[in-house]
Structure 1
Amino acid sequence: MLTTIKDSIVACMATYPDRFDVLERSARSISGQLDHLFIYVNETLDGFPDLTSLKNVTILNGAEHEGNISANGKVYPLNLLSNCLVFTIDDDFIYPSNYVSKIKFIFKICKNNCCVAVHGSILPPELEWYFDRTHVFAARDSLLRAELVNLAGSGTFAFHQSTLNTNFSDFQPDVQVDLIFSSLARQRGLPIWSPSRPKDWLIPLRPDGLMQDMKKEVTYHTYEARKLDWSFSVYRDIATKALQKNGRPMSEIYSDLNLSQALISALGTGRTPANWQTSRKNFLARRNYLRLLSPKGPTSHNEYGSQI
């Protein structure tokens, strides 16, 4: 019988049979940093790896719960948690040994008034297509200084339930975990920080085929994302108000968070930083979007790149 877990550090993962061959490596890389790890298994348990040596892991057989719900499986355990620091993670990353401690330190600095996404993106203000980005801070890439983002990658996302209290029903019926988490953070006035890190701090074990498949059509994500204003001015206001709750001089907080100088300047002046401005990536993405709308259908060559 499942019981509520309180005041703990918990990670939630979803998996399916095509990832079973890399799942153990991923789970083992992070389980020792946690109080508890939930793994929601889609489709079937046939061929599932032996994780019995990981004593703090709960396996949720989808067939006994909500069935095959894809990435939404990583938010299914939220109803079982109370006042926890929650990490949503993917089954195809190797997480570094200091992953939890580094992100936990950010929450300490911000007094839980934030979210964190190692893989974070910036959507442009005038959004036409969900896969249009002004910049992507990819999980495996180095980042010398922390940055502010408006779209989180849920395989590297963290939040505290004291400031972002959400449950499984908030993510129904479609699969759009990244977008919903990002929208909820915005509603709660929580900035999303992408932390500084060395190259290959996180190591992907598989390419994200699902995301690449989604780029071949205009999905429901686009229509939902169009409803919001993704401008820097909106997120500057969110970040400034959240940091002011800390009660310390802004300069000290900026230093503790290791924010980039360009971002610090933009937070002060209100001028849109370069990472939030339209770039060549946007034009390439918009060209692909127009090709999707053409009678000939999508191009077979993805010129926007492999990262979301």
Structure 2
Amino acid sequence: MLSKKEVCELVEESGFFDGKWYCEKYPDVFEGDLSPLQHFVKYGYRLLRDPGPKFSSADYTARYSRFFRKGDWALLHYLSVGINEGLKIDSPNGNYERDLVVKKDVSVSWSGDFYHKENDKIFVGIASIPQRVNCLKQTVQSLIDQVDRIGVFLDKYDSVPEFLENNEKITYKLSSDFSREIGDAGKFYWVDDFDGYYFTCDDDLIYPQDFINRIVKRIQHYNYPVVVGWHGSVILEPFVNYYNKDSRRVFSFGAPRPYDTPVHVLGTGCMGFHTSHINVSFADFKSPNMADIYFAVLGQEQRIPFVVIEHKKGEIYESDASQEFSIYQHSSKSIKGSRHNTKEKQNKIVSATDWSVNYVNTKLRILIVGRFKINVKGGGFKSSHLLKNGLEKLGHIVDVCCLSELNECEVNRKYDFCLAYAPDPDRPDFGDCIEYIKKLAVEGCVCAVNLSFNLNKQRTAWIEDKLWELNSEFEKPKIFFASFSNSTQYSFKEKTKEMIVPFPKTISLERYENKPYSQREGIFLGDLAKLSNSSLVNGNLAKWVEQIRIKLPHVNIYVLKHYHTNNVPLNYLKVIPYTQDIGRVLNKFRLTVCLVPGATFEMVPLESMVSGTPVIHREMPQSLSEYLSPLSVEVASPFELGEVCKNLYEREDIWSRISSAGYNSLDFFGVDNVIADVDLAIRKTISRSL
């Protein structure tokens, strides 16, 4: 395994790290005393940060993380494996239209790894004081058969206890070899030169025979960088005193813990981690008898989850008469002159730290099924790519599968979540998509699928039946309907609502000049082909448009010829040709009216609104009724439509207020903001499957 220094040299020699660029992109680099390169190697890679303008950590991870082993990271994998195998790389902020950068020639001789393996060694570090020598013997006896090695730091011992000598599993170190006080930090003395599972234990505790195995299994269970233990605490606000119950809530090893609990601080007396999961060095412990706090601060800096795992009462217990010599007793009672009383220093560090609970699996492995290579002019193509890029910016590992290549996409890979932009259920390729989703769900992946809800009663009944059919073999739902609005659920039976989760639409909107009232004319109805489809209009188009003509006989009414159609349902409609730069057209109209409530989602009204064009639409609870309210006007009848159009078109004072509100709503729909709601929708869906 390479040392941190060797890793820094490897990264620097590769030419991918640009210190100036890194500092400009990530200003928090200056908050510590590390160089930009050291910061990247110690912290940056864990946050999927990019080393420079020539390498995207998120892109490489999304493409090739299936080749990673636990603990691996993007640039290190590329320099050690990917470059020799010709794996492709991309620049930060690259998109689907960019050509991938081909591999560059870099000489790499390292063939080791940075992750834990099945045969990883297990080491236990213990710091002991002379008063507990008899307790120490019991502690060692309870652990010796569970580990490969035990290191005992003998703090203030005059000699080495006989039971520690002549045992090939035991190594020891005397504090007299140091010029400074070490204290309980001695349990970390061996961590710098060890690769594997490192445990820290106390010399006054007796451990169950499966203690080590349970910790290891829990680390492996999370499949994520994590530190776990049997004793921990959370810091409470306002914080005053580390040893006061109003400042800290403790989850004790001696009390039952019925479920895994994330904490701020873990007790280093019954704790374990893999050395590839957290960067820790003996030198990190600057003062004696404060190991818990120093280690907790490292976890906060690196955003590593700390978890007190499930356990029963009394599984770990204290040796007799051990309490009178504990750091806790000396600090909580403020025993003056005791080197074990570190309360003042601990309080200072705790007060200066901005504590946050780091949760396991904040970064998920996500699969998106969508239009990544087909229908490039359609909204689904754009939404698919926006979703991928947005989730990667949040740190998730994202794979994609194009609907046209479902037979080539993996099924047995372990994903936490899949979001699928399925074809319309009436299309012949819908069945292939659903079959693929079913296979993913069987493998344990939670899935959410867009089922094209459009207010049609037959479609609603079909969606309801399909959801129950898809989830019939699972104890809890695994396949959900990803709707576009909260209101969608109210069209379904109560028992089905649990399987419906609203996901906001990922869209990218352009805003052009907000032309004033006097420079605009006409009413825009949208796409001609959709207006010619009676199932989307839900009846007769003419009765709606005629009311506009009755109230505004002098106003031009426009439609857009997008798809191939020569049918103009009303001969007075003015047809304009399709353009990709639709925003430059929409800001010329005075009003936009949407008359296709049977459509799943309509983009033109949103584009109109952010162009300063007021929008009127029919009832569309599946999308626009929520997306545009209260900045749009919803109408329930043709007569109502005519009245609203008349007042909004002819009254500049009313028009200007609604136009301004819509024009200034762009940030509300921006994908960089909406993606946060997508993340929460994913969490909601996963929670309903548990």
Q: Counterpart amino acid of 1:201?
A: E
Which secondary structure does the structure 2 equivalent of 1:10 belong to?
strand
Q: Per the alignment, in what secondary structure is the counterpart of residue 362 of structure 2?
A: helix
Deviation at 1:112, TM superposition (A): 4.6
What is aligned with 1:214? 331
User: Match for 2:416 among 245, 249, 256?
Assistant: 249
Structure 1 partner of 2:316: 202
Aligned counterpart, 1:104: 216
Match of 1:126 in 2: 238
* Structure 1 residues 17 and 204, CA gap change in structure 2 (3 angstroms): same
Answer yes or no: is the 8 Å Cα contact 2:152–2:171 preserved in 1.
yes
Q: Which residue of 2 aligns with 1:48?
A: 161
Contact 2:184 2:291 in 1 (8 A): yes
The one-letter code sitting in structure 2 at the alignment partner of 1:71 is D
The answer (yes or no) to whether the contact 2:121–2:197 under 8 Å persists in 1 is: yes
Give 3-state SS (helix, strand or coil) of 2:200's partner.
Answer: strand
* Deviation of the 1:23 alpha carbon: 0.9
Query: What is the distance in 2 between the residues matched to 1:143 and 1:109?
Result: 18
**How far off its partner does 1:248 sit?**
4.1
Q: Is the 8 A contact 2:364 2:416 kept in 1?
A: no
Aligned-partner Cα distance in 2 for 1:94–1:25 = 7
Task: Give the counterpart letter for 1:21 in structure 2.
Answer: N
Q: Size of the alignment, in residue pairs?
A: 246
Give the match's secondary structure for 1:71.
helix
Which deviations, in whole Å up to 9, do the C-alpha atoms of 1:117-147 show, x marking residues without a partner? 2111111132121223442111122112111
Cα separation, 1, equivalents of 2:317 and 2:167: 21
Give the match for residue 226 of structure 2. 114
Counterpart residue identity of residue 113, structure 1: P
Cα distance in 2 for partners of 1:184, 1:243 equals 23
Mark the CA change 1:53 to 1:143 in structure 2 (over 3 Å): closer, same or farther: farther
Matched residue of 1:226: which SS?
helix
- What is the CA–CA distance in structure 1 between the aligned matches of 2:361 and 2:354, rounded to whole Å? 18
Alignment of 1:51-90 (within 5 A): 51-52=164-165, 54-65=167-178, 68-81=181-194, 83-90=195-202
Shift of 1:153: 0.5
* TM-score (normalised: structure 2): 0.33
Instruction: Give the direction of change, closer, same or farther, for the CA distance of 1:229–1:161 in structure 2 (3 Å limit).
Output: same
1:32 aligns with 2:162: no
Residue in structure 1 matched with residue 646 of structure 2 by the alignment: none
SS in 2 for 1:101: helix
> What is the TM-score with the length of structure 1 in the denominator?
0.72
Counterpart of 1:13 in 2: which secondary structure?
strand
Paired residue type of 1:79: D
Q: Which 5+ residue runs of structure 1 have no aligned equivalent?
A: 1-5, 254-267, 270-308
Given that residues 265 and 292 in structure 2 are in contact (C-alpha distance below 8 angstroms), is that contact kept between their aligned partners in structure 1?
A: yes
Q: 1:47 to 1:60 in 2, by over 3 A?
A: closer
Q: Deviations over 1:198-238 (max 9, x none)?
A: 111101112263211112345111011011233xxx325x4
Change (3 A) 1:243 1:23: farther
Q: By how many angstroms is 1:35 displaced?
A: 1.1
What CA distance in whole angstroms lies between the structure 2 residues aligned with 1:174 and 1:242? 35
Which residue identity does 1:221 align to in structure 2? Q
The separation in 1 between residues aligned to 2:174 and 2:149, in whole angstroms, is 17
Q: Which runs of 5+ in 2 are unaligned?
A: 1-115, 335-342, 366-395, 398-413, 418-443, 446-682, 685-690
Q: How far 1:190 moved relative to its partner?
A: 1.3
Q: Closer, same or farther in 2 for the Cα pair 1:19/1:112, shift >3 Å?
A: farther
User: What are the superposed Cα offsets for residues 15-42 of structure 1, whole Å, 9 maximum, x if unpaired?
Assistant: 1110101111101101211111100101
Alignment of 1:186 onto 2:303: no
* Offset from partner CA, 1:57-96 (integer Å, 9 cap, x none): 1021222345652111111222231x22110110011011
For the pair 1:177 / 2:344, whether they are aligned, the reply is: no
What letter is aligned with 2:362? K
- Structure 1 residues 202 and 242 mapped into 2: Cα distance closer, same or farther (>3 Å)? farther
Could you say if the C-alpha distance between residues 142 and 243 of structure 1 is closer, same or farther in structure 2, counting changes exceeding 3 Å?
Answer: farther
Cα-to-partner distance string for 1:177-216 (whole Å, 9 max, x where unaligned): 1011111112222111111111111011122632111123
1:224 paired with 2:349, answer yes
Which residue does the alignment assign to 1:261? Answer: none
CA contact (8 A) 1:143 1:195 kept: yes
Determine the structure 2 residue equivalent to 1:239: 360
**Deviation of residue 12 (structure 1)?**
0.3
Q: Cα distance, 1:9 vs. partner?
A: 1.0
1:18 aligns with 2:131: yes
Instruction: Provide, for residues 93-114 of structure 1, a one-character-per-residue CA deviation record: whole Å limited to 9, x for no partner.
Output: 1011000110101111222511
Does the 8 A contact of 2:232 with 2:308 survive in 1?
yes
Q: Which letter does structure 1 place at the counterpart of 2:260?
A: A
Q: CA RMSD in A?
A: 2.8
The alignment partner of 2:164 has SS state of coil
Counterpart CA distance in 2 for 1:44 and 1:103 is: 30
Give distance in 2, aligned partners of 1:41 and 1:242: 41
